[in-house]
Amino acid sequence: MAHQAAKQQLDGSPPSHGDSTKDSQGESGLQTERQHKEGGETDSLACTSHVLSEMSAARSHRWSNLLTAAQLYLLGLKVLLVQLFTRPFRLPVMPRQDGKVAIVTGGGKGIGFEVVRHMARLGAHVIIGGRDEQEGLAAVRRICEEYKQAKVEFKKLDLASLQSVHHFVQSFKQLELPLNILINNAGVMLVPEGRTEDGFEQHLGVNYLGHFLLTWLLLDTLKDSGKCGHISRVVNVSSSAHRIGTVRLNDLNSCQCYSAHAAYCHSKLAQLLFSSHLHQELQRRGSPVSSCAVDPGMVDTALYRHLWMPLCLAQSAFAHLLLRVKHCCDFRLPYSHVRDGKDQLV
């Protein structure tokens, strides 16, 4: 075979058909290898571009989160300075609330507890809705020890569970009581990323959606109770943090980039918009119910426990001296100092 190939080369005769096939296969292999190499380079460039894009987006989100946190803390400082250098609001003598029934969410501690305590002293029948049964029952005992005639009771309510909200409303309606005042006070602030039982971001689920459903399910009872000459009232305990929030309809659960500071602000804005819209709808239909929002300012409660540790310690020490809960949340209900309707968004 080797001899024949050498002879062909010396004679100048063309190569055999077998050799031509081998050469063709060699050229095809080189072309395929070149295509694979070019395709690999294209994939590598696309992958690098994608990684750089993700890094840029992550950096942008990180700066956005830092900016939101800085805005929230600056706003808190502004609120604090206003409270310190403004003459305290003095309440007039409040009327008795005998025969009135009120529900206060998160009434086992903090602002909610002081509201329950104050309303019970005025003669209202108050129902505490809370997640911690032991804490709620302890609050009931404390108030009843202070005011022997107090009408206070506790019912289980977990705003992070829509099923729990339904059970609470069903349990309340079985009492066949009127409902004159609904105070949506409970809330969470700056909690770590997590989801409610129904899959919603925690701030959105507890601060807004849970209270939204609770109000909606109790609205008929509120309307019926307001027909006796006195309007019923829905009071949402809001926050000036709504000024920093935005409503992102394409990312309500903050899946794209989570920031506890931003999530809290978004939930408070949603709560305020709900309160405003509900008030306008009720007024348009002539319903005997009013929807209000009240900002208690900066108060010494456990709400701040998720702050950055140095700030948490500073806030705790400072608040204990100057921001006593009793002095800050003793607002008038159901004639509280509130902002109704469009004024809420100022």
Looking up residue 183, the CATH number of its domain turns out to be: 3.40.50.720
Q: What is the pLDDT of residue 144?
A: 96
Neighbours of 4 (CB within 10 A): 9
Residue 42 lies in a domain: no
Residue 250 lies in a domain: yes
The DSSP result for 123-174, as a single string, is: T-EEEEEES-HHHHHHHHHHHHHH-TT-EEEEEE--TT-HHHHHHHHHHHHT
As averages over each run of 10 residues, the pLDDT of the chain (346 residues) reads 46 49 53 55 56 52 72 78 75 85 95 94 97 96 95 97 98 96 93 91 95 97 86 93 82 79 91 95 94 83 61 58 48 37 35
Residue 150 lies in a domain: yes
Chain centroid to CA 290: 23
Q: What is the pLDDT of residue 57?
A: 47
CA atoms within 13 A on the CB side of 188: 24
Residue 104 lies in a domain: yes
Residue 70 lies in a domain: no
d(CA 25, CA 95): 100
Are the CB atoms for 107 and 139 separated by under 8 Å? yes
39 CB burial (10 A radius; 0-12, 13-18, 19+): exposed
Residue 87 lies in a domain: no
> Which tokens is 248 given?
């992102």
DSSP state of 210: I
Q: What is the pLDDT of residue 317?
A: 57
Q: Bridge-partner residues for 340, per DSSP?
A: 292
Residue 71 lies in a domain: no
For 275, the domain range is 97-340
Residue 306 lies in a domain: yes
Q: Count how many domains the chain has.
A: 1
d(CA 153, CA 171): 12
Give the CA diameter of the chain. Answer: 126
d(CA 7, CA 3): 6
d(CA 225, CA 121): 21
d(CA 141, CA 304): 26
Active site residues: 264
Q: What is the pLDDT of residue 286?
A: 92
d(CA 137, CA 135): 6
